[in-house]
Chain A
Amino acid sequence: MADFGGADLDAFRTEAREWLEANFPPSLKGRGGMMFLEGRGETGGDVGLWKKRIGEKGWGVPTWPKAYGGGGLEPAQARVLQQEMNRVGAWNPIGGMGVMMFGPTLLEYGNEAQKKAHIPPIVHGEINWCQGFSEPGAGSDLASLQTRCEDKGDHWLVNGSKIWTSGAQWADMCFCLVRTDTSKKHEGISFLLIDMKTPGVEVRPIKLIAGASPFCETFFTDVKVPKENLVGPLNGGWTIAKRLLQHERSGLSGGGGGGGGGGMFGVGGSVPDLAKTYVGVDDNGRIADSDLRTRISAHDMERRAFQLTAIRMMTEARSNQGPSTATSIMKNAGTKVGQDQAELTLEIMGAKGLGWEGEGFTSDELAAVRGWLGGKATTIFGGSYEIQNNIISKRILGLPDPINSTSN
């Protein structure tokens, strides 16, 4: 892709290169960061040091405004920074829901005091946020949520329960959708920030099919929340939630996205190479199993198509053609590529791709199994595959609401 800005950008490249040389601990080279860390993540040692340095520089969130501690970079500069980081094997230790979803949303909808209070700790990687959206009775039909929030004059009082709160057991704060008006559906929802250490907040991890517990049930019993923690207008939370979900979905398109790595679930590396190793090749160097080869090729092409679409979207967004209609398809297309990759990887590994733990399997083989299982969540959370298709049908294609169904 073309560079923009010419000489200025070259100067920035030099600046970024020098800063990385001086500040990125070489011991961390290529270790990468995982999106869904189990636990709070490392805080000591070189990781802690790197986090502190990049946090102070604001380059963990390079395009966020300087006023709140962000990097204040232009998108073109941020791309250069990413290129330079890739070049030296550096990775961004500042991540999580605060960066991916909550921060951008608060920057758009929060008041000055809220931005001053909550954005800098995200920039520095000091605070973990979790998302209190889904409830046992409100999954795809999110707007039917029941967690009650009452105005008690000098505070809000919250009662109810949330489910699938990712990382709630390690979270400091929760951005939450609560019901402030029971007489309306979408227009009775507000967006509230809750400190997880408040008395009455209880978290129970849920064990999933992949064996880990990345999600929790979170219970709120007479939880007192300061009045200033309401974001946006009372009963105006649905609009903010929809915006936040857009950020979530663009971050979750997963599998084939961005640099074309292994995605957030499953092992990295090239599926064809894996097949050559596990299945073998014929005299012409082709993957020996011709049926498998065809399906690998089809998958490989679909992944490339997804990557090309991601590039096209960015290019169109940079030009003045307005928002790209391709955006709406990214979550379903990306998660499909990721799940297909996981399924193919398992199939390619054969019996070696059936291990759960212990000896007899490499760590990649075990990771493939866990990644395959964990990845099934990608077409369920953040708006299921079916909900995404509803959104495309209604908002892009202009088809009417199905009978007996509510809007998304």
Chain B
Amino acid sequence: MAVLTEEQSMLRDSARTWTQEKSPVSAFRKMRDAGLPLGYDPAAFAEMAEMGWTGVIIPEQYGGSDFGYLSLGLILEETGRTLTASPLLSSALAAASAIILGGTDAQKSAYLPKIASGELVATLAIDEGAHHAPEKVALAAKKSGAGYTLSGAKTFVLEGMAAGLYVVSARTSGKPGDKEGITLFLVPTDAKGLTRKALKLADSRGAANASFENVEVGADAVLGEANKGWDLLEKVLDRARAGLAAEMLGAAAQAFDVTLDYLKTRVQFGQVIGAFQALQHRAAKMFTDLELARSCVEAALTAIDNNAPDTPELVSLAKAKMGDTLHLVSNEMVQMHGGIGMTDAHDAGLYLKRARAAEASYGGQSYHRDRYARLNGY
């Protein structure tokens, strides 16, 4: 656990209390069983906003508290523990980062206060294929009059149905795969020509496919500089990745704790199964990986707060190491629980499903191992 300020400790403690009391795993299960179309409970999200969680990284002048990414990471870790579904990551972290880092005063004034209050859900619409590949942008933005016309499609848009605003990566020049020629746009989801289809994912979270048919936006929809969106996009994605890694840390820690409890209570052959060395050493391995992963996640969030030059590699490290760890722990959770872990009534399956979706989002382990090597010049 990182060394926290008093404010951060209070924030974490209140997040822990709220998630345990108001948003336990049973609440997520209830939401899933009710088939809520958004993939989260809007009333719960409103409470989160009420507590100021949606404004943690937003500057005070735009209605936030400017507490930084490590602080928001602490909250996400707690929501990850109980599988709390909400647009906190997509909107209050990822999309908010895009506007904070790239927005004009007008754009910030128009959107950040609404994101901070929870009134507006925003999200990133980046990927177009089955794998995270932010430079492979085909969605075209053509100059038309004073603005642009967007045509193409996005997939796996997290909270894509709930969002009122998309941060869209589009190609204004070059070809898919080029880093040059990418431009980010702020597109309200009620724009003419934008249609969305809800995806039903294994983890029951909200996501959508979006198609853009001659969607017209003004020049003021451009976020940052035209054609030069890549660097901004990387910075935004790194923040989203680190935040997601924090959520994954919470999920993995909780999955491990639940499994450890089971090892201490399940009796077979006249003893608790936790007395078997074959299981003990696997538990020790998980604990070791969790400690290593925690160091990476906290280092990445801290690097973002400090604007450290090695932020990109620390973020890739955090996302990959956390991905590997959650992968392992979620599998072991099912295996060590045995038959009961296979039942829908048990929580193990919920953690397993969430694990794979989170691993894939914003780049999986192989993506980030490759990126880490590239960033280090090999």
Contact = CB atoms under 8 A, between A and B. Distances in A.
A312 B369 contact: no
A158 B277 CA distance: 36
A316 B2 CA distance: 7
Chain B binding site: helix, strand, loop or mixed by DSSP?
A: helix
A141 to B, nearest CB: 14
Interface size class, chain A: 35 or more
Contacts of A329: 287-288, 291-292
B281 A386 contact: yes
Contact of B295 (A287, A298, A308): A308
B3 A321 contact: yes
Interface string B1-25: 1110000000000000000000000
Given A272-B373, A286-B373, A321-B3, A400 B272 contact: yes
Given A275-B378, A390-B280, A403-B275, A306 B287 contact: no
A268 B43 CA distance: 57
Contacts of A286: 373-374, 378
A399 B280 contact: yes
B376 interface: yes
Interface in A8-33: none
A301 B320 contact: yes
A326 B280 CA distance: 17
A305 B275 contact: no
Nearest to A281: B378
B288 A332 contact: yes
A405 B276 CA distance: 11
Interface in A209-243: none
Given A332-B288, A392-B288, A297 B369 contact: yes
Contacts of B30: none
Interface string A295-337: 0111011101110110110011001010001100100110000
A108 interface: no
B296 A285 contact: no
Contact of B369 (A294, A326, A389, A405): A294
A249 to B, nearest CB: 14
A297 B373 contact: yes
A285 B378 contact: yes
B280 A402 contact: yes
A326 B374 CA distance: 30
Contacts of A333: 288, 291-292
Interface in B291-330: 291-296, 298-299, 316-317, 320-321
A298 B369 contact: yes
Interface string B350-378: 00000000000000001001101110111
B104 interface: no
Interface of A: 272-273, 275-276, 281, 285-287, 293-294, 296-298, 300-302, 304-306, 308-309, 311-312, 315-316, 319, 321, 325-326, 329, 332-333, 386, 388-390, 392-393, 396-403, 405
